[in-house]
Structure 1
Amino acid sequence: MDMFAFMGPYGPLILLIFVASMLIQGYLSSTYRKWGNIRNPRNLTGAEVARMMLDENGLHNVPVEMVPGQLSDHYDPRQKVVRLSESTYGVPSIGAIAVAAHEVGHAVQDKVRMPALVLRGQMAVPLSLGMNLAPLLLMVGVVIKMSGLIWLGAVLFGAALLFHLVTLPVEFDASRRALQYLKERGISGGGEAQAGAQKVLTAAALTYVAGFAMALAQFLNVLGIARSSDD
């Protein structure tokens, strides 16, 4: 049995998507590195833009905090806080304001109770527990030839696929809100700076598309293994 057969019918596809995701991650890093070194026309830091956007949307009680790392930026809907990485928080670059505005976009989604964001939040904890079990269920099911366990693992992988699918509109909408805000307030200055902000957010969006593609390939792979177990 060769390596691809052991991995299942979609093993080659998973490897291909994995390579593509690494290339996308490299593209994101290089894009952010470029625009993270170019000052925005208003000379505002990521933290300043985040605070402005939050206040203008009536989110005065949502704090903006700095966290270690690069591109570790996120909005925490449970604690209602925007967390910006060191490379975003105090940096007046085009990349920094694009990322900061994107994270505030999630805070605005939370305020208006965007259905996809609410659904993603409800899925996060149980799915995290389920995905820790899924590979074990699949492996044990294959070893002891119990198709029930394999199918249960397939269901959990299917739930992960749904999570990635729900994530796409959430991320795209946050980027749309960010770009619209930067343009309408004249923060990005338009022209090349606005195009740079869009490139940063597009590169980030591609990582979520790659994540969905990987989840789809894994689900199809496990589904093929489950069907084979019934033969």
Structure 2
Amino acid sequence: MTAELSKHMWQQWKEIYCGLFDFVIIGETQARGRPLLEGRCQSTQIILLVQNRFDILFWAQEIDHAAVAEWVGAVNMTLKTMPNVHVVVNNPYEKLYASVKGIDFSEAPLIRPVGVVSVVPNPTFYKQLWDEGALDINPFGQLHLTFHVKDWWKYWDWYHEDFAGLFVYFDSWQHLKEVQDSFDFEAQRSHNLEKMLCYSEDILGWLQYVYGEIVANRMAQSYKY
């Protein structure tokens, strides 16, 4: 979305999104959020759910670096001057990617339910497989960026501290066979369910915090009349 289109959409959206709703959840920051952020929509609570790189629509064969810089500046200005905007990330990699681009999402809550029991290589074995060219799929996007970062595994769903204990790890192909033959998957499934119920409570607590601000704003408005 260009700056010109953003301004055009703002004129169409401002009476709707900034006048009729208590809060708006934007699932793709760049594509859907730019008009509301650059238009300074401050009369409603805005939740930015960053889930697919905040600048994804700038990815092209010929990147407009000036446009990217403009957008990064707009996001940073929003974070500093619009307290009604609340950022959450869908996966830990978003924080790393944003930091490389000059945006600080470090305080953003991570909302990423992980309930299925998955068997995955541990960080050392995964990196070994990648270096050997044994992997032809990449579930985490730009590995060339991630692997050059200290403690890179902290930015991946499989290894992030919030999800510790939810995955079953193997460190070799032989170990994988042993896991398949003897691991207690029923116990792991029960553990994951219990952990995710607690995780859901944390998410609801954060949403209650946002909703509490909505109630406070309503009360403040009522005192004006």
TM-score by length of 1: 0.29
Higher relative contact order by CA 8 Å / sep ≥ 6: 1 or 2? 1
- The structure whose residues are more often strand, as a share, is 2
Structure showing the higher helix proportion among its residues: 1
After TM superposition, the score normalised by the length of structure 2 is: 0.30
